[in-house]
């Protein structure tokens, strides 16, 4: 499978899942908006990267230009954010927010797969010295 097509899972499954989960968060508006905005940005970011790496877009859109790594799509700092901030917040939501069982299972799968994916590529690119993934293009 083309790795770029994996981005469509974020566009059509995980982003909408995060938006749906946000509707069940009634205890904290901040947490609800975090989950909602994360879902929306997940759809926009991964949809944009799919089109960019599929050569439909010739260059990144100006608003997203500073967030796109042109060789693999994501900077290491973005992966660290996912691993240290985003997924722990998702785990908190999973453990403390009342939602349907099926939705809880889907969120759990989203957390496990997303965490392992980001951890794998963080380690892979950290050990792969052929290019610097911390440097932003000018």
- Report pLDDT digits (tens) over 117-137: 999 989 988 877 554 544 444
* 65 — pLDDT class (breaks 50, 70, 90): confident
Q: What pLDDT was estimated at residue 1?
A: 54
User: Rounded to an integer, what distance in angstroms lies between the CA atom of residue 22 and that of residue 8?
Assistant: 21
- Report pLDDT digits (tens) over 44-58: 999 998 998 888 888
Quick one: tokens of 109? 């799968």
Spell out the residues 6+ positions from residue 34 whose beta carbon is closer than 8 angstroms to its own.
Answer: 89
State in Å, rounded, how far the first CA of the chain is from the last one: 32
């Amino acid at each position: 499978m083309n790795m770029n097509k994996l981005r469509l899972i974020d566009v059509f499954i995980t982003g909408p899942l995060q938006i749906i989960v946000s509707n069940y968060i009634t205890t904290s508006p901040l947490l609800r908006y975090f989950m909602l905005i994360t879902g929306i940005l997940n759809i926009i970011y991964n949809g944009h990267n799919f089109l960019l790496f599929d050569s439909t877009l010739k260059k990144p859109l100006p608003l997203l230009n500073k967030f796109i790594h042109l060789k693999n799509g994501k900077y290491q700092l973005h992966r660290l954010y996912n691993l240290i901030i985003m997924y722990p917040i998702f785990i908190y939501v999973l453990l403390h927010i009342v939602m349907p069982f099926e939705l809880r299972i889907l969120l759990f799968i989203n957390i496990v797969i997303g965490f392992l994916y980001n951890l794998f590529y963080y380690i892979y690119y950290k050990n792969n010295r052929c290019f610097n993934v911390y440097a932003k293009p000018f």
